[in-house]
Structure 1
Amino acid sequence: MLKSFLWVALGGAVGSMLRYGTALLFKEWQWDRLPMATLTVNLLGCLLIGVIYGLLNEMPQFPKKYVLLLATGFCGGFTTFSSFAFENVELLETQGTAQSLLYISISVVGGIASVVAGVWIIRELV
């Protein structure tokens, strides 16, 4: 049990650091005034979850420790729903409903499409 927590902790630490690094990288750059750092990490995290899901479907022997490290830990630390929610409130207050709905739409549709893409990539490669 302790090993499982350590795999999650390691993945979460790396994911959180990369999310922070992404925020610093995108700090000055905003396309159409959208929070690009959160959008980027959420879409990349969805792609990675799709890849992991695809690996689990195609390779049932895929080690559980890697699922804990990558899906639960890394993606859990890297992606962020709370930032997404907060940034939507900010967009509503500063940019209006249209910007917020655009961000929500891209995030949700793009997130689902990224998971599908990750599964497809694994199916094509394995």
Structure 2
Amino acid sequence: MRAFAVVVAGGAAGTLGRHGVSSWLDSTHLFPTGTFVVNVTGSFVLGALLAALVVRGDDTGDRRTLRLLLGTGFLGGYTTYSALAVETDTLLRGDHVALGLTYAVGSVLAGLVAAAAGIAAARAVTR
């Protein structure tokens, strides 16, 4: 039950963070900037967090609590791949096929690059 509460607390904070960033960045532009930014930055931070935790030892005790609080909870609430799917569908159905495909593929590729950069950054710092 403690693990559940930790994930819920992190998720609530992450969702509020996502809402704040998305509200700040999204405007009348067609490109969903807010969702793109939260997903890419969330991928970077998740890569860094998990790499740093792995270097420090087994997934037990405080490391497990941090992973659940920050990784599963906060970053799970902060990132939003469901919004990516909805926004891509909206662009595709709105006759913005090139932008929709660019957004979808670009988001996934940028997320992968960001996660790899996060892993590399954490490894460099924790050595």
TM-score higher than 0.5 here? yes
Residue 88 in structure 1 maps to residue 88 in structure 2: yes
The one-letter code matched in structure 2 to 1:91 is L
- Taking only the aligned residue pairs, the percentage that are identical comes to 32
Partner of 1:40: 37
Partner of 1:111: 111
Q: CA deviation at 1:3?
A: 1.2
Q: CA deviation at 1:26?
A: 1.6
Q: Return structure 1 stretches of 4+ with deviation > 4 angstroms.
A: none
Q: Deviations over 1:48-88 (max 9, x none)?
A: 11012211221115610000001100111111111111000
Tell me the number of residue pairs that the alignment of Structure 1 and Structure 2 aligns.
123
The 5-angstrom pairing of residues 1-126 of structure 1 reads 2-28=1-27, 30=29, 33-61=30-58, 63-126=63-126
Normalized against structure 1, the TM-score is what? 0.91
CA RMSD, Structure 1 to Structure 2 (Å): 1.4
5+ residue gaps in structure 2? none
State the alpha-carbon separation in 2 of the partners of residues 63 and 13 from structure 1.
20
The one-letter code matched in structure 2 to 1:38 is T
Q: CA deviation at 1:23?
A: 1.8
Q: CA deviation at 1:34?
A: 1.2
The one-letter code matched in structure 1 to 2:43 is C
5+ residue gaps in structure 1? none
